[in-house]
Amino acid sequence: MKTILMGFKLGVVKGFRYRGNVYSWVLADFSLYATLFLSYFLLFNQSETIGGYSLLQFQIYLSTYTIINNLFAVFFGEAISSYCQSIIDGTMYQHLLIPKQQYFSHVVLNFNVLPLISTPLLVIYNIILITQLAVPFRFILLYVIAIICATITMNMVFLTISTFIFLGWRVEGIQSIMVQLFSIAEKPETFFPSALRSIFVYIIPAFLFSAVPAKILIEAAITQQTLWLFITPILFIVIYRLFKQKALKKYQFEG
Amino acid sequence: MFELQLFHMMRLKFFRYRSRFLMAYFNQLLIPIIINGIFVLGLSETIANYDSMQLIAYVILSNLLFFISMENIENTIAYDIKESRLVYKILAPKSTLRQYFFQGIAKKLVQIIYVYLPAYVLMALFAMQPMFSVSLYAIVFTGISIIIGYCLSAIIGFLSFWLTEIWGLSAVKSLVLLMLSGAYFPLRFLPDVVYHALLLTPFPYISYIPASIILDGSVQNDFRLLVIALGWCVVLWTIKVVLWERGLKHFQGNLI
């Protein structure tokens, strides 16, 4: 806990070092959310439901996606870049000597506190929407756990991809393809054919970041998908560890 | 010739990594077209009930035009200013603005020749017919969209003379252009008031208007659109030049 707190303090110092950087984050974050929500507000002006979702339900859908994205940016976004860089430039062997988990040290040293500026607003907005839905408390609890699981899954997907660097691959391309594929999560999943929907739930877990957790609140959850949402972080952790163990045996770096 | 050399350099850079070539197909064509295509078809069923073939053609074309006109020269400009590399560019016998402009155009040309054109031919072969009829008017609007995209990018880049970070502005530009240019969904899906207000901004001229002109001949008669688009070209180009001239007076390069 003390280490995490220290890491957070370091993140605050690093984040607020340049005022220009702070303004850039705030500007980029708020424009992203404003543009996304505004576009759908305008579209809902033309129709009462879109893809079977009412405006309120779709706001839940979008706010879930934005919160998960935001949490990922705070805790894991920079850690993954730093981890990839450490494999490439060989500094990974220093991290291997640390008594804590190797990736954990990257996370602690690379908290990005600037996206946190918009987190309270997103959470408050989400809470206002939830109160309008009047959902039983057990669903809200399940929803919160689902958001945590989805954030971890997003992190584990990118972390698993980063292990391909051990094989000498350039992973930036694969990561950017994954980002493009994940952008499907901001669109109503009901528009997509069921086969494609299943692919984006069970293979490329994009809808685990929007539709599946949002459906818990809308009380339209599909048990199989919800269970999958809770299993995926564990599954990806296992896959990542297996990949890493094999890859580390081949890893060679001359300082 | 300077422009040809730039083109050759960009071609070599593009093919330096085979993966970059493949990624361009996936990231700029296949994935956005499939995802946006299904999304727009779904929206159309809910909102407007357009002809689905027409919509698919629109999604393909608007996304192609969006990627052709989207310019990211701001990162190069910001890097040159921050790292003082701009000094070398100013000292070169060619005008710096010309260097930036042709660098952007050469990069686009490489992408058009090696990515977009083959993709278009493949799609036309698959559809067994030419998918779009291209008129002179459409070519003019495509040129305008490239100039608007370049000017917006250069303006943000030149703000580096005064700002420590421009990546936030760059991110905002990409997002706003994606949503308001018509690449995300046809702007006709928006309420009338919003749609007509948007036509007065430069954004629809990046993707929506050129795509509509190519797909729907009726838009061609609206010369008002051409006047607005050309007006924006002049305004943005002037802002770019003014920022460049003022920025140069402010610039202090340190090569040590």
Set of chain B residues whose Cβ sits within 8 Å of the Cβ of A196:
38
**CA gap A193, A77 in Å, rounded:** 31
Helix (H) / strand (E) containing A216? helix A211-218
| Residue B42 CA: distances (Å) to CA of A199, B45, B50, B176 | 18, 5, 11, 22
Per-residue pLDDT of chain A (255 residues; tens, 9 = 90+): 787 888 888 888 887 887 777 887 888 888 888 888 988 898 898 888 888 899 999 999 999 999 999 999 989 988 888 888 888 888 877 777 777 677 888 888 888 888 888 889 999 999 999 999 888 899 999 999 999 999 999 999 999 998 888 887 778 888 888 988 998 999 999 999 999 999 999 999 999 999 999 999 987 778 899 999 999 999 999 999 998 888 888 777 665
Residue in chain A lying closest to B166 (CA): A24
Nearest to B31 among A49, A173, A181 (CB): A181
Is residue B49 pLDDT above 70, yes or no? Answer: no
Partner residues linked to A50 by β-bridges: A53
* CB contact A192 to B (< 8 Å): yes
Q: Are A230 and A142 in contact (CB under 8 A)?
A: no
Residue contacts between A and B (CB atoms, under 8 Å): 98
Query: Is this model's pTM higher than 0.90 or not?
Result: no
3-state secondary structure of A54: strand
Question: What letter represents residue A137's amino acid?
Answer: F
Partner residues linked to A49 by β-bridges: A54
At residue B134, the pLDDT reads 64
User: CB within 8 A of B153, min separation 6: which ones?
Assistant: B71, B72, B73, B74, B104, B173
* CB contact B185 to A (< 8 Å): yes
Nearest to A192 among B38, B163, B190 (CB): B38
Of B181, B175, B176, give the one whose Cα is nearest residue B211. Answer: B181
Helix axes B52-69, B31-47, angle to 10 degrees: 130
What's the whole-number average pLDDT of chain B? 83
Question: Which of A14-18, B83-87, B150-154, B182-186 has the least mean pLDDT?
Answer: A14-18
What is the distance in angstroms between the Cα of A24 and the nearest Cα belonging to chain B?
A: 4
* CB contact B179 to A (< 8 Å): yes
* CB contact A50 to B (< 8 Å): yes
At residue A51, the pLDDT reads 86
3-state secondary structure of A50: strand
Tokens representing B65 are 């035009």
3-state secondary structure of A193: coil
What is the distance in angstroms between the Cα of B168 and the nearest Cα belonging to chain A?
A: 4
Is residue B133 pLDDT above 70, yes or no? Answer: no
Set of chain B residues whose Cβ sits within 8 Å of the Cβ of A170:
17, 19
Is residue B39 pLDDT above 60, yes or no? Answer: yes
- ipTM, two decimals, is 0.84
Residue A46 is given by DSSP the state T
**CA gap B70, B182 in Å, rounded:** 13
